């Protein structure tokens, strides 16, 4: 059974982590006190005159540090199932655990009354080495397990209960990620004919045969994917699954109404789901993001001042019209603002400009305009929009009023994007949804960003913009 394999893997993880903590400690000691990092000041420490005292101190530290770190690792979710967990989440858990660990380490040194003058660099080196070794171990284990599962070993045997849109999404994700090691044995459903297939997964029986199926098959997991109009059956299905002892997951069929990560609150024991959780509705988060926007915009203006001057000169000398093109866009709380760009097209009437997309080989685009649109240099004046507070460095791209009115009637949840400031770059843009691409996919990415915002997510998007965002193959 998978749960037995998971226990064995967790025990292996714990033993290897304990070993790596010891290795990190001794590597750090060698680097800090016995390598080129050693200073004359360190060479005169009392431990040079009393090596037995140093040995005793190291042993005391290790006896306390190793179990303490393992406990911290456990509570930082480093020993849970890793089938669908990303390397980024794994690294974050390791980093978070080591921050707590190094804080504990520092307090321990303080209480042992060890002179911290010798150990500040030691703590920093240990922190870095321990994160590196712990993450490397998990990358190796993940790679080995993925290869093993792709060959058909260490599989988790799953039965799907209920055919719905959610069932289809679940099956698609499982089949697209064979490294997760899920084997779907079939679907139980009351609304579809037995023998109906989806992606070669068969509907094998009705839901009332669930108890019988569980008795006759050794399954690891039940995935309940009932359609929303069948939720009256949910209580009975859960009771049957719990009676059999099989691990049960409920995958709700409410994606069109409630986001991927809804905000839950406890109302005196009554669970309440908030339909939309927007982290930037928090005052501290808003001020933090705004501070980063102001500092980042000033830095970017200084960094790109020379290219902006060169582009400005070329635009003025190669075509007639203003240097800066301003266009009305819809921003935070559905308010209109003037968004600035370097002019990349010939002058056109306001009615043409409001309602027309730019197309491939558009005759209105100037020669320099093609280049600055492809490289996104035309967007640089929007740094002034950021300083004014109309825009952010990162966020959903703002749209013209005509298209906002059009899309809000055609695309569900479109207007949610206006709950945050629009951005120069965004999650949709670095994933290729710019220019003449699917507006639906663009909104999906925008909503994911809005619901999952963190400062780290913004930094990731800005970093990826350097490699993915500047050159736009969809800009005409």
Q: Containing H/E element for 72?
A: helix 51-75
Helix segments in 251-397, DSSP class H: 283-303, 305-318, 350-355, 367-374, 382-388
What is the mean pLDDT of the segment spanning 426-448?
A: 86
What the block records as the tokens of 390 is: 């109309």
Sign of torsion, CA 303 305 306 310?
A: positive
What is the mean pLDDT of the segment spanning 88-109?
A: 84
- Cα–chain-centroid distance for residue 343? 35
Cβ neighbours around 471 below 10 Å, total: 10
Pairwise CA distance, residues 273 & 263, whole Å: 6
pLDDT at 46: 43
What is the mean pLDDT of the segment spanning 236-260?
A: 81
Cβ neighbours around 447 below 10 Å, total: 21
Task: DSSP for 374-402, please give it.
Answer: HTTGGGTTHHHHHHHTS-EEESPPPB-HH
Which of 4-18, 69-83, 90-104: highest mean pLDDT?
Answer: 90-104
- Domain limits, the chain: 2-150, 156-255, 283-469
pLDDT at 163: 93
Domain 156-255, architecture per CATH: 3-Layer(aba) Sandwich (3.40)
Give the chain's mean pLDDT. 82
In this structure, of 52-66, 97-111, 309-323, the range with the lowest mean pLDDT score is 52-66
Q: What is the pLDDT of residues 33-61, one digit of tens each?
A: 776 555 544 444 444 433 444 555 566 67
Cβ neighbours around 229 below 10 Å, total: 9
């Amino acid at each position: 059974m998978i749960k037995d394999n998971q226990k064995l893997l967790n025990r292996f993880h714990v033993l290897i982590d304990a070993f790596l903590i010891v290795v990190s400690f001794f590597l750090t000691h060698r680097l800090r006190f016995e390598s080129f990092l050693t200073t004359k000041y360190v060479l005169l420490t009392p431990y040079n005159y009393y090596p037995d005292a140093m040995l005793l101190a190291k042993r005391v530290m290790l006896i306390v540090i190793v179990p303490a770190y393992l406990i911290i690792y456990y509570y930082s979710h480093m020993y849970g199932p890793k089938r669908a967990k990303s390397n980024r989440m794994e690294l974050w858990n390791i980093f978070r655990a080591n921050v707590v660990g190094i804080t504990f380490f520092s307090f321990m040194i303080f209480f042992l009354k060890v002179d911290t003058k010798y150990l500040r660099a030691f703590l920093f080196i240990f922190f870095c080495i321990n994160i590196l070794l712990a993450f490397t171990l998990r990358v190796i284990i993940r790679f080995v397990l993925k290869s093993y599962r792709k060959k058909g070993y260490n599989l988790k045997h799953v039965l799907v209960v209920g055919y719905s849109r959610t069932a289809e999404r679940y099956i698609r994700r499982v089949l697209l990620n064979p490294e997760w090691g899920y084997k779907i044995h079939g679907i139980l459903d009351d609304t579809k004919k037995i023998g109906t297939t989806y992606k070669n997964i068969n509907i094998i029986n009705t839901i009332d045969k669930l108890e019988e199926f569980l008795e006759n098959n050794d399954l690891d997991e039940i995935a309940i994917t009932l359609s929303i109009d069948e939720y009256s059956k949910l209580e009975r299905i859960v009771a049957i699954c719990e009676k059999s002892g099989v691990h049960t997951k409920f995958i709700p069929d409410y994606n069109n109404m409630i986001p991927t990560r809804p905000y839950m609150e406890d109302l005196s024991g009554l669970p309440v789901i908030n339909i939309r959780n927007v982290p930037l509705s928090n005052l501290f988060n808003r001020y933090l993001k705004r501070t980063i926007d102001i500092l980042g915009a000033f830095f970017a203006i200084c960094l790109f001042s020379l290219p902006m001057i060169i582009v400005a000169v070329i635009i003025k000398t190669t075509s007639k019209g203003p240097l800066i093109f301003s266009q009305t866009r819809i921003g935070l709380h559905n308010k209109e603002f003037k968004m600035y760009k370097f002019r990349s097209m010939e002058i056109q009437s306001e009615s043409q400009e409001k309602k027309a997309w730019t197309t491939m080989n558009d005759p209105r685009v100037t020669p320099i305009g093609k280049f600055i649109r492809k490289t996104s240099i035309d967007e640089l004046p929007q740094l002034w929009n950021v300083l004014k507070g109309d825009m952010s460095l990162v966020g959903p791209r703002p749209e013209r009023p005509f298209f906002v009115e059009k899309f809000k009637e055609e695309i569900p949840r479109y207007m949610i994007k206006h709950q945050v400031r629009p951005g120069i770059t965004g999650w949709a843009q670095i994933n290729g949804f710019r220019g003449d691409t699917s507006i639906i996919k663009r909104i999906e990415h925008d909503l994911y960003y809005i619901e999952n915002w963190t400062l780290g997510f913004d930094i990731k998007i800005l970093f990826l913009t350097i490699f993915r965002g500047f050159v736009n193959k969809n800009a005409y």
